[in-house]
Amino acid sequence: MKKAAVIGAGASGLMAAYAAAKNGNQVTVFEKNEKAGKKIYITGKGRCNVTNDTSAEGFLENVVRNAKFLKGCAYTFPPEKIMRFLEEGGLPLKVERGNRVFPASDKASDVTKCLERYCRNEGVEFHFQEGVLRLEKQGEGFLLVTEKGEYLFDCVIVCTGGISYPATGSTGDGYTFARRFGLKIKPLRPALCGIVCDMKEISRLQGLTLKNVQITASRQGKILGSFFGEMLFTHFGVSGPIVLSLSSLLNETQNWKEISLSIDLKPALDETTLDKRLLRDFEKFKNKQMQNALGELLPKSLILPVLQQAEIPPQLAVNSLSKEARNRLIKVLKGFRLYPVSFRPVEEGIVTAGGVDVAQIHPKTMQCKEIPGLYFCGEVLDVDAFTGGFNLQIAFMTGYAAGSSIR
């Protein structure tokens, strides 16, 4: 039996604590907040998208960075296992669009309660409102200095999260601990965050949600990524599920002037079919102005920006529209342009990209290769994935890998 400390009572910390205690170890969890799972409470808009009902292969396809590192624990603890684990712990689940898995109650708090119950049943001790100030090697073990005292442990699992949503306690403590042990930290960047755009043409679109559209990012003609689904216009630019996923492919961007974003407003229609649709609408509204002829095709607030990009005067009579102008309109409908400027701050990202370089971490156990007994799990590592429950799956599987390896 070993004395193990877990720093952080989030998704990875709770799973690591349970798995380590299940192996017969004496486990103590240190959490700076007054309760466990503070970030879990706000995930999925308070409903908590716990995982994605897919295979290990399907999960790995949705990992943005270092999927190869996660391959071993993805097969050891795939989504189906975490689903079974939660349901056996008294948490009924449901599967929604995109195979996203939620608690049947739609309450994120029920997820935290389930995980904490598992831990307490295995004798895990919790120290809430006791942040860790310092962590250092001492003999064969580790000295852990908190706001309330000093402790000695045989091993320590660092599950402190990233630097996104600092109000939940994710203030980068794990990176500080890692640096003190001489570990390399990959640059920290926002992942799954909104994109700030030049608002000149789109300011009137604030609050507009678009469904079933395709957003594409390219650099000097090369497509970097493309996603279909829902997005919204905000006071700063664009956000929503497909924008968040796209952002994770762009967060190493240095020169935003090289990046172009376009929205296919009618992805189900090719240009020929769209042209036929326009001709039908224009025949119907032939005595109207262009600004009043697109109401069956587009949301009202989008009509003027689309006409502006197509260089068509809003007051132009429909029966005066040339074929050349109609072709320009089709091009804009299939590629409405946005002009990205930057990301929102990393603190607003759903997760943090970058972190502890995984080359220093054993992929099967999450143990530091050069410092036996020191483990890193979850968001503190340089791993991240698209939306859909995949980032919580990373937290659960890395926590389980670490905790279950301690004997």
Give the C-alpha separation, 283 to 318, whole Å: 8
- HSE at residue 376, side-chain half, CA atoms within 13 A, is 32
Please indicate, yes or no, whether residues 142 and 208 belong to a single structural domain of this protein.
no
Handedness of CA 259, 265, 266, 271 (dihedral sign): negative
Report pLDDT for 224.
94
Same domain, residue pair 56 and 92: yes
CB 132 within 8 A of CB 350: no
**What pLDDT is attached to residue 167?**
75
Residues 6+ apart with CB under 8 A from 246: 195, 215, 217, 225, 226, 227
Of 343, 360, 381, the residue at which a domain comes to its end is 343
The pLDDT score that the predictor gives to residue 57 is: 97
- Give the C-alpha separation, 336 to 398, whole Å: 41
Residue 241 has pLDDT above 80, yes or no: yes
Give the C-alpha separation, 161 to 32, whole Å: 12
pLDDT at 271 (0 to 100): 97
Query: Is the confidence at residue 254, as pLDDT, over 90?
Result: no
pLDDT value at 390 more than 80:
yes
Q: To which residue do tokens 């045989």 refer?
A: 154
**Are 323 and 393 in the same domain?**
no
Write out pLDDT tens, residues 152-192: 999 999 999 999 877 787 889 999 999 999 999 999 998 99
Query: Which pLDDT score, from 0 to 100, does residue 43 have?
Result: 83
Gap between the Cα atoms of 146 and 126, Å rounded: 13
Residues 148 and 242 in one domain: no
Confidence of residue 329 (pLDDT cuts 50, 70, 90): very high
Same-domain check for residues 362 and 337: no
Q: What is the pLDDT of residue 131?
A: 96
User: Residues 377-397: what's their mean pLDDT?
Assistant: 96
Q: Are 356 and 382 in contact (CB under 8 A)?
A: yes
Q: What is the mean pLDDT of residues 296-323?
A: 96
Residues 21 and 123 in one domain: yes
Domain boundary among 300, 315, 343: 343
Q: What is the 3-state secondary structure (H, E, C) of 140-202?
A: CEEEEEECCCEEEECEEEECCCCCCCHHHCCCCHHHHHHHHCCCCEEEEEEECCCEEECCCCC
If you ran DSSP here, which 8-state letter would residue 350 be given?
Answer: S
Do residues 151 and 229 both lie within one domain? no
Confidence at residue 251, expressed as pLDDT on a 0 to 100 scale = 79
- Identify the domain containing residue 135 by its residue range: 3-190+352-405
Instruction: For 258-305, write each residue's pLDDT tens digit.
Output: 999 999 999 999 999 999 999 999 999 999 999 999 999 999 999 999
Backbone φ and ψ of 326, nearest 5°: -65, -40
pLDDT the model gives residue 255: 87
What is the H or E stretch that residue 260 is in? strand 259-264
Give the DSSP H or E segment for 16. helix 11-22
Per the structure, the count of domains in the chain is 2
Q: Which of 296, 324, 343 is the last residue of a domain?
A: 343
Average pLDDT score over residue span 387-401: 97
